[in-house]
Amino acid sequence: MDYLLKHKTLLQIFKRLGLKHPSQRLIIFAFRSFVPKGVCKAWQAQCSIKPAKLNYTHMRCTVGIWDQERGRIFIAPGSTVPHKTQAESSALKNGKGANQLEPGFYQDYQKGFHLEGSARGHQALRQTKPQFIRRTEIGIPYTTHDRLLFSNPHDNLHCAWNLSPDTPGFSSAGCIVVAGQPHLPSEASSGPNRGHWKTFHEYLYQTKQNRFDLLLLDAPLLKGLLIQNAHRPLVCYGSKGKAVKEIQKKLIALECYSGPVNSHMDTRCYRAWNTSGFIT
């Protein structure tokens, strides 16, 4: 089944999740286990996405930019999970070395360099604050049974070093990546940005906006939001509202949470919700 994305759709997603409407012009969004249907070469009024099974070797996610002032979007194939090689290697080291970002609303990406000072360094968006991540000790796929951490492993948003989602491979140990090849300022012979990353980079860097919010959703949550027939609370890290308040009451009853009933899925509440096994 295909799903249509447009300005109104994203407005509804933010509203249903109980997220404060961002004040910034450009918002980053990433949908795990969904890929663009067709090729989006420039800003569009609407685009379609379709479900795709993660295999940790191909880019099976959608990464997009929402221009909320002009009511338009741009989407590109990419990944929100670490590559299989990195994940399996880290599992042998108690999960250290690879991470998978937890779904949620994060307000901490800034313009800067990925791998600054190295030959592969290129302009990107840098993670500047702690986020919820998973680390696995048993290998892929990552699940809610894997260890949850609130940390800043400097998992940036950068180029994937692969032009096509149909070709296996992407460069990530936990960063969000967009299909393409990057321009390398330190290499005199480096060509310009290419592929989807070229357009993605241009839209981010041609604006004076320096900081960007990111909304990451997994497939079950996104499907519930899009078809409006969910069998679980439509909340994520950062959500506010009645649904969160009910979860907090249940967590207190289970003695998993001793914080305030403030209707906010903040860091403390999300940890408790995870401990409970995400009660509904």
Tell me if 156 is assigned to some domain: yes
User: How far is residue 249's CA from residue 245's CA, in Å, rounded to a whole number?
Assistant: 6
For residue 229, the model assigns a pLDDT of: 59
Q: Are residues 89 and 141 in the same domain?
A: yes
**Residue 162: strand pairing partners:** 180
- What's the number of domains the chain is made of? 2
Residues 28 and 54 in one domain: yes
pLDDT tens-digit series, residues 92-103: 999 999 999 999
Question: Which residue is it, tokens 């951490």?
Answer: 149
The answer to whether the peptide bond before residue 153 is cis (omega within 30 degrees of 0) is no
Query: Are residues 155 and 29 both part of a single domain?
Result: yes
Residue 84 lies in a domain: yes
In a domain, 228, yes or no: no
Is the domain of 85 the same as that of 141? yes
Shared domain for 186 and 116, answered yes or no, is: yes
Shared domain for 116 and 172, answered yes or no, is yes
Same domain, yes or no: 218 and 248: no
Q: What is the mean pLDDT of residues 187-210?
A: 95
CB 225 within 8 A of CB 234: yes
pLDDT in tens, 219-251: 999 999 988 655 567 899 999 999 999 999 999
Q: What is the bridge-based pairing of β-strands 211-217 and 26-32?
A: parallel
Verify that 217 and 250 share a domain, yes or no: no
Distance of alpha carbon 245 from alpha carbon 223, whole angstroms: 22
The answer to the question of residue 83 being in a domain is: yes
Judge whether 173 lies within some domain: yes
Identify which of 257, 258, 259, 262 has the alpha carbon closest to the alpha carbon of residue 275.
Answer: 257
Residues 204 and 103 in one domain: yes
Question: Domain range spanning residue 250?
Answer: 240-275
Would you place residue 187 in the very low, low, confident or very high pLDDT band (cuts 50, 70, 90)? confident
> Domain for residue 177, yes or no?
yes
64 with 118, same domain: the answer is yes
On whether both 122 and 244 belong to a single domain, the answer is: no
Say what the pLDDT of residue 232 is. Answer: 66
CA 160 to CA 182: how far, in whole Å? Answer: 8
176 shares its domain with 88: yes
